[in-house]
């Protein structure tokens, strides 16, 4: 986690943020590779050490059994008693080095001590007989004279001189030789397999460094780019597994480039379009300052008010276009899921413009097909109200006095389906737009030569962008009833939407 450290610097407490250390991809990979290898290495070493101990036990147990058989060959029966004479040379053959000691003990038919070390520990009860040798021999571990020992207990049958029973012969040795062999196996395993593990990790690290070289080269190329260079990163030398990441970065860079282009276009449009009304406003203000006649001064102020109103509307339209540009994806669409009552919006827009329409003697009306249509669709209420306002304002501005402006909402049903769509139409009795000009009028700041004064050339551009944001289609046509312009907007086919 990030921590904050305070330092005294010139009498002022300065806060320095420590960011968490970045994890290395190479380090993480080697860690995840090394940990399992080390665990497997340790397990394998332990298994090899155990196998070495078992192999040493089998080999040296055979030696202990041979020593016990040598002693069994020395058993004799004299005067009804079992006797044994064990010369040292009989066991010297099996003392293979000077690191271990041999001990033995011979017990008679009744368990009495006959020869050897009388304090040698007896075999624990329940010690199993070994199945590796054709003899009644048992092997077990014990401690004698503070040293661990391995003991072989051989039961030798006696049936001679009227005696019948078992003589117990115990031969024990210390574990130095066994441990020496097991230690040698352990050291060989540690060194051999350890060298293999760390060599593998080293070779993998070298391979990773080599595989990450294209990424480092790509990072150097990006670091050397100019700030304005947003061209896509090359995919030629990037490994297949990294291609989705680089492609995602290229997509993000492309969106940034489009965003910067929109911002630059907005700045250019704003500076170009606001320069003229601001210059006009400055001239009007200077003229008003030189005017002494109250009537002429009022006239100058009225001109300034109209210029300010036009500039305010132009600024609002520019800001709305910038907002639409910022909210849309590269395809020009945006996600709007709030249910909007389009019928109420249409009523509100018409009521707000009744005074202006009556001032020109226009017949402004709202029609619904069917009459009880309550148009609900998912969208952005503010943008849809702006769309309606621009269309109605354009119709009122271009319709001559005594004309007609009709705002119409109707619902269409797709044949053979329950899906419906809303169609919005604005029809007027104005001069209309020639067919050759019906596409270029959607361009920003484009105005027809005979356009009515007071427009900015942004109204239909805003309408088009709002339609794109709502995945709606827009078309211009001649009015079949009023001989003016018919603007038709068709929203997408949808299942019926109910108000919340």
pLDDT for 87 beyond 80: no
Within a domain: residue 5?
Answer: no
162: phi > 0 → left, psi -120 to 50 → alpha, else beta; which? Answer: left
pLDDT for 193 beyond 80: yes
Within a domain: residue 207?
Answer: no
Sheet holding 113-116, edge to edge: 113-116, 102-107, 163-174, 147-160, 137-144
Residues 179 and 66 in one domain: yes
- Give the pLDDT band (50/70/90) at residue 2: very low
Residue after which a domain boundary falls, among 300, 327, 354:
327
pLDDT for 354 beyond 70: yes
Within a domain: residue 137?
Answer: yes
CATH number for the domain spanning 451: value is: 3.30.565.10
Residues 351 and 322 in one domain: no
pLDDT for 82 beyond 80: yes
Neighbours of 9 (CB within 10 A): 9
Residues 343 and 486 in one domain: yes
pLDDT of residue 9: 45
Mean pLDDT of 424-433: 90
Residues 52 and 158 in one domain: yes
Q: What is the pLDDT of residues 305-335, one digit of tens each?
A: 877 776 776 677 667 666 666 665 544 444 5
Residue after which a domain boundary falls, among 183, 206, 228:
183
pLDDT of residue 4: 43
Residues 316 and 363 in one domain: no
pLDDT for 92 beyond 70: no
CATH number for the domain spanning 68: value is: 3.30.450
Residues 415 and 478 in one domain: yes
pLDDT of residue 22: 65
Find how far residue 219's CA is from the centre of its chain. Answer: 21
Burial class (CB in 10 A: 0-12, 13-18, 19+), 33: middle
Residues 315 and 354 in one domain: no
pLDDT of residue 331: 44
Residues 283 and 151 in one domain: no
Neighbours of 293 (CB within 10 A): 9
Helix or strand run (H / E) with residue 322: helix 294-327
Highest mean pLDDT among 5-19, 133-147, 204-218 belongs to 133-147
| SS3 assignment, position 285 | helix
Residues 453 and 311 in one domain: no
pLDDT for 152 beyond 90: yes
Within a domain: residue 373?
Answer: yes
pLDDT exceeding 90 applies to what percent of the chain?
A: 16
Residues 379 and 314 in one domain: no
Burial class (CB in 10 A: 0-12, 13-18, 19+), 388: buried
In the block, tokens 């990979």 appear at 29
b/e burial code for range 417-438 (CB count within 10 A of at least 16 → b): eeebbbbbbbbbbbbbbeeeeb
pLDDT of residue 16: 43
Within a domain: residue 301?
Answer: yes
> Nearest to residue 64, comparing CAs of 124, 134, 127, 151?
151
Q: What is the pLDDT of residues 13-44, one digit of tens each?
A: 444 444 455 677 777 777 787 888 888 888 88
Within a domain: residue 69?
Answer: yes
Helix or strand run (H / E) with residue 84: strand 81-84
- Give the pLDDT band (50/70/90) at residue 409: very high
Q: Which domain holds residue 252?
A: 243-327
Residues 145 and 96 in one domain: yes
- Give the pLDDT band (50/70/90) at residue 12: very low
Q: What is the pTM of this model?
A: 0.46
Residue after which a domain boundary falls, among 295, 327, 359:
327
Residues 343 and 484 in one domain: yes
> What is the 3 state secondary structure string of 91-159?
HHCCCCCCCCCEEEEEECCCCCEEEECCCCCCCCCCCCECCCCCCCEEEEEEEECCEEEEEEEEEEEEE
Domain total of the chain = 3
Within a domain: residue 495?
Answer: no
Relative orientation angle of helices 25-72 and 176-211, to the nearest 10 degrees: 160
CATH number for the domain spanning 283: value is: 1.10.287.130
Within a domain: residue 222?
Answer: no
pLDDT of residue 320: 67
pLDDT of residue 137: 92
């Amino acid at each position: 986690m990030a921590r904050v450290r305070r330092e005294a610097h010139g009498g002022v407490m300065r806060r320095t943020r420590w960011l968490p250390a970045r994890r290395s991809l190479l380090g993480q990979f080697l860690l995840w590779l090394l940990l399992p290898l080390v665990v497997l290495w340790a397990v394998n070493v332990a298994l090899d050490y155990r196998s070495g101990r078992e192999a040493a036990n089998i080999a040296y147990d055979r030696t202990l059994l041979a020593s016990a058989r040598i002693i069994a060959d020395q058993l004799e029966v004299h005067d009804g008693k079992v006797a044994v004479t064990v010369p040292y040379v009989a066991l010297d053959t099996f003392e293979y080095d000077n690191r271990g000691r041999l001990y033995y003990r011979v017990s008679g038919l009744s368990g009495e001590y006959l020869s050897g070390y009388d304090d040698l520990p007896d075999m624990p009860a329940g010690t199993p007989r070994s199945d590796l040798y054709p003899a009644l021999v048992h092997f077990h571990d014990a401690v004698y004279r503070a040293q661990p020992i391995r003991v072989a207990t051989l039961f030798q049958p006696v049936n001679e001189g009227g005696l019948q029973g078992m003589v117990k012969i115990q031969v024990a040795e210390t574990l130095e030789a066994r441990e020496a062999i097991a230690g040698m196996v352990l050291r060989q395993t540690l060194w051999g397999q350890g060298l293999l593990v760390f060599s593998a990790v080293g070779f993998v690290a070298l391979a990773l460094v080599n595989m990450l070289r294209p990424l480092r080269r790509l990072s150097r190329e990006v670091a050397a780019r100019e700030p304005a260079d947003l061209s896509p990163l090359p995919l030629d030398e990037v490994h297949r597994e990294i291609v989705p990441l680089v492609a995602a970065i290229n997509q993000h860079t492309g969106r940034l480039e489009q965003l910067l282009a929109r911002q630059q276009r907005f700045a250019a449009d704003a500076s170009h379009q606001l320069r003229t009304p601001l210059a006009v406003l400055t001239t009007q203000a200077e003229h008003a300052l030189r005017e002494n006649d109250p009537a002429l001064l009022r006239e100058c102020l009225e001109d300034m008010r109209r210029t300010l109103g036009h500039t305010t509307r132009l600024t609002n339209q520019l800001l709305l276009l910038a907002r639409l540009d910022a909210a849309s994806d590269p395809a020009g669409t945006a996600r709007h899921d709030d249910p909007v009552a389009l019928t109420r919006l249409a009523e509100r827009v018409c009521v707000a413009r009744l005074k202006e329409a009556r001032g020109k003697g226009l017949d402004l009306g709202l029609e619904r097909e069917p009459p009880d249509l309550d148009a609900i669709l998912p969208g952005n209420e503010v943008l849809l109200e702006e769309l309606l306002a621009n269309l109605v304002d354009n119709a009122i501005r271009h319709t001559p006095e005594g004309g007609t402006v009709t705002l119409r909402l109707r619902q269409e049903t797709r044949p053979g389906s329950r899906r419906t769509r809303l169609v919005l139409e604005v029809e007027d009795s104005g001069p209309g737009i020639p067919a050759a000009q019906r596409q270029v009028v959607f361009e920003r700041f484009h105005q027809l030569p005979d356009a009515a004064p007071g427009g900015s050339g942004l109204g239909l551009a805003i309408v088009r962008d709002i339609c794109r944001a709502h995945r709606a289609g827009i078309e211009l046509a001649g009015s079949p009833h009023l001989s003016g312009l018919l603007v038709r907007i068709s929203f997408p086919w949808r299942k019926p939407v109910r108000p919340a």
